[in-house]
Amino acid sequence: MQNHTAFILTLLAAAVTPASFGLTVEHRHDHAAGTGPVLVHFPQQLRDHTLANMRDHLSALAEIQGYIAAHRYDSAAEIAEQRLGMSSLKLHGAHEVAKYMPKGMQDVGSAMHRAASKFALTAQESAVDHDMGKSVAALATLTQACVACHAGYRLR
Ligand code: HEC
């Protein structure tokens, strides 16, 4: 478990450097093949709630990508902050869910919320300097947090 946590954190740190991307994904794959994900028990109602949140996460990512493509960076920032970022913690009942999560899973969750809020700030910069690349890179870092948690944890 300790190893696992360290691994996920390394993965997240590595994901910050775009150049390390391919390598990061390969490592995750090797790891997943070796030990498999940790199974986490949530009460049924919380499980349903969490999966609904997850589907909203994915739809938020799609909306964000659409806004970036349209150079509507402020809208991309708004969606990221409200639905995935630190501002979304209350909406998701994060406090209630966190107590059922192993520490490593909580950490990846926090890293995702932070990455989303960081993305929102970066997108606001793009709105000013018209540099799309930095927003796409910040979005990739955010998405890597989704990947890291899915690689490490499953609900049962
Ligand atoms: C802290 C952990 C964690 C993070 C971060 C996370 N997820 Fe999940 N996600 C899960 C777990 C656990 C499941 C259930 C997987 C299972 O048991 O099969 C899940 C399931 C899903 C599902 C399937 C929902 C369904 O109806 O079955 C989608 C889609 C999804 N996540 C999208 C995302 C996206 C997009 C992000 C990032 C923006 C994300 N998740 C971040 C833990 C996480």
What tens digit of pLDDT does each residue of 88-139 get? 987 767 788 899 999 999 999 999 999 999 999 999 999 999 999 999 999 9
Is 62 a pocket residue for ligand 1 (Cβ < 6 Å)? no
If you measure from the C-alpha of residue 105 to the centroid of ligand 1, how many angstroms do you get, rounded to a whole number?
A: 11
Do 57 and 116 contact (CB within 8 A), yes or no?
A: no
Distance from C-alpha of 92 to C-alpha of 96, rounded to nearest angstrom: 9
- Chain centroid offset of residue 153 CA: 13
| 33 vs 110: which has the higher pLDDT | 110
- At residue 125, the pLDDT reads 98
Is 61 a pocket residue for ligand 1 (Cβ < 6 Å)? yes
If you measure from the C-alpha of residue 81 to the centroid of ligand 1, how many angstroms do you get, rounded to a whole number?
A: 18
Examine the pLDDT at 27 and tell me if it is beyond 80: no
Give the pair of three-digit tokens for residue 52: 């609904």
Read off the pLDDT of residues 41-93 as tens digits, 9 standing for 90 and up.
999 999 999 999 999 999 999 999 999 999 999 999 999 999 999 999 877 67
Distance from C-alpha of 27 to C-alpha of 30, rounded to nearest angstrom: 5
Counting Cβ atoms within 10 Å, is residue 139 exposed (0-12), middle (13-18) or buried (19+)? buried
If you measure from the C-alpha of residue 29 to the centroid of ligand 1, how many angstroms do you get, rounded to a whole number?
A: 17
- At residue 142, the pLDDT reads 98
Do 16 and 119 contact (CB within 8 A), yes or no?
A: no
Distance from C-alpha of 8 to C-alpha of 102, rounded to nearest angstrom: 13
Is 149 a pocket residue for ligand 1 (Cβ < 6 Å)? yes
Atom of ligand 1 nearest to the CA of 52: 26
- At residue 92, the pLDDT reads 67
Is 73 a pocket residue for ligand 1 (Cβ < 6 Å)? no
Atom of ligand 1 nearest to the CA of 112: 5
- At residue 7, the pLDDT reads 46
- At residue 57, the pLDDT reads 98
Do 106 and 98 contact (CB within 8 A), yes or no?
A: yes
- At residue 81, the pLDDT reads 98
* CA-closest candidate to residue 118, choices 88, 80, 146: 80
